[in-house]
Chain A
């Protein structure tokens, strides 16, 4: 268990170190998310007000799109440097590598969300911060769920053809429950009379999703990455 955690944290530190130095993926992901939000703004704002509840949807779509991009870029970097094969050859439990990459992606998305949530709340006048703790719980569990499935698929697609378009095709249908839960939970928080019970219920669903899919990913990572 100790070694597992050590390897995972080592992979995380490596990714963070690379990212802190170049900040390439962070900046591009963040800017892409902001552009997404603007595109949706122009599509959905009517007479200066956004269509009801759309602000929650815009937030989560931006996170999902930006997350897909970040996943693709992260593993493209691994593929380019051929570091993935090196990682897999290392005498380390494979699943720990998965956890390390997962933590890296979640961290990246968390930083992006810290910028994105206030921005969306501001642009669309949405009361996201009415229940900040619930919002944080929703975002955390949703991001982990999305990243859990995404990291596995992105890793397994690294050696496949047409990997760029395959990732969204595989990822989006499977993460629909995350989107539904995230959006409806955020709407429940942001509405005139915040419905805490509903938000808590959606967080519960997301937590269950996280547990099931992280477990599945840990289980299948090894056989998938072995030739």
Chain B
């Protein structure tokens, strides 16, 4: 993640986020949910970004645990934190949308429930990193790996669990005019994830450099 690409990427991301509201405002209204459905343009991309961060964290955690690459631990830490951030975005925009379309704030919708469980798992990841004491990087790595491995099981069990309850109302296959702004928003969020990862990994790198300096001084 070199500094060379950072500023251009930042400019592009900012531009995309600035342009997105125009695209979203001009997108056709969803026939049954009206205006509030437009939350979908940043609710779903948040979920995509969280999902990606979860997988990055899990894979880098595995590399760190088995190969001992400190760089992987740093990326995993950054990804774990970003999973929680993007998860929070999704978990707040979801109920705001649901309040209008379902009439209630929370309805144990399968996707939101899965998001909530993953969020809790990765908050636990952050807690272990912070309060686990010495050697907590490895413990956190285990949480990251297990959290990632759990995703298919969460999907299966929560989805089956939810079919027993009344079905949820969600946007079906996208009608014409919506895929454009949607994929634009997805791209914008992915770029945002990249930018934030770069920044956050840099923080970890500087922390590691500081630790090394302290260690060198003691000798």
The answer to whether B157 and A176 touch across the interface, beta carbons within 8 angstroms, is yes
Q: Is A157 an interface residue (CB 8 A)?
A: yes
In the assembled complex, the Cα of A181 lies from the Cα of B147 at a distance in Å of 18
B132 lies within 8 A of A166 (CB): yes
Is B26 an interface residue, CB under 8 A from the partner? Answer: no
Complex Cα spacing A159 to B134, Å: 9
State whether B124 touches A177 (Cβ < 8 A).
Answer: no
B66 to chain A, nearest CB (A): 6
Assuming A180-B157, A205-B157, A213-B149, is B133 touching A159 (CB within 8 A)? yes
B110-134 interface bits toward A, Cβ cutoff 8 Å, 1 = contact, 0 = none: 0000000110110010011001110
Q: Which chain A residue shows the least CB distance to B158?
A: A180
The answer to whether A224 and B138 touch across the interface, beta carbons within 8 angstroms, is yes
Given A174-B147, A176-B117, A220-B145; A205-B153 close (CB under 8 Å)? yes
Question: How many angstroms between the C-alpha atoms of A68 and B161 in the bound complex?
Answer: 24
Contact with B along A84-107 (1 / 0, CB 8 A): 000000000000000000000000
Contact B124 A173 (CB under 8 A): yes
A5 near B: Cβ within 8 Å?
A: no
Minimum CB–CB distance for B166 against chain A, Å: 16
Q: Using Cβ atoms and an 8 Å threshold, which residues of chain A touch B10?
A: none
Known: A173-B120, A177-B157, A223-B65. A216 touches B138 (CB 8 A): no
CA distance A205 to B154 in the complex (A): 11
Contact A213 B133 (CB under 8 A): no
Contact A205 B127 (CB under 8 A): no
- Please tell me if the beta carbons of A177 and B153 are within 8 angstroms of each other in the complex: yes
Is B146 engaged at the interface, CB distance under 8 Å to the other chain? yes
Q: Which of A148-188 contact B (CB under 8 A)?
A: 149, 152-153, 156-157, 159-162, 166, 169-170, 172-174, 176-177, 180-181, 184
Q: What count of chain A residues pass the 8 Å CB interface test?
A: 30
Judged by a CB distance under 8 angstroms, whether B24 is at the interface is: no
Rounded to whole angstroms, the CA-CA distance of A176 and B161 in the bound complex is 11
Q: What residues of A have a CB within 8 angstroms of the CB of B147 in the complex? A: 173-174
Q: Which of A153, A157, A162, A174 has the most CB of B within 10 A?
A: A174
Residue of B nearest to A181 (CB): B157
- CB interface residues, B 91-127, toward A, < 8 Å: 117-118, 120-121, 124, 127
Q: Which residue in B128, B154, B164 is a CB contact (below 8 Å) of A177?
A: B154
Chain B residues with CB below 8 A from A75, complex form: none
Q: Is A227 interfacial (CB-CB < 8 Å)?
A: yes
Which A residues lie within 8 Å of B158 (CB)?
A: 176-177, 180
Q: Which of A6-33 contact B (CB under 8 A)?
A: none
> Which of A181, A223, A224 counts the most chain B CB atoms within 10 A?
A223
Are A156 and B139 within 8 A (Cβ)? yes
Q: Name the distance in Å between B157's Cβ and chain A's nearest Cβ.
A: 4
In A170-227, which residues have CB < 8 Å from any B CB?
Answer: 170, 172-174, 176-177, 180-181, 184, 205, 208-209, 212-213, 216, 220, 223-224, 227
Kindly list 10 other residue pairs between chains A and B, CB separation below 8 angstroms, not including A152-B142, A161-B131, A170-B124: A157-B139, A166-B124, A169-B124, A176-B154, A184-B161, A209-B153, A213-B149, A220-B145, A223-B65, A224-B139
Residues of B within 8 A of A (CB): 65-66, 117-118, 120-121, 124, 127-128, 131-133, 135-136, 138-139, 142-143, 145-147, 149-150, 153-154, 156-158, 160-161, 164
Please give the residue numbers on chain A whose beta carbons come within 8 Å of chain B beta carbons, in ascending order.
149, 152-153, 156-157, 159-162, 166, 169-170, 172-174, 176-177, 180-181, 184, 205, 208-209, 212-213, 216, 220, 223-224, 227
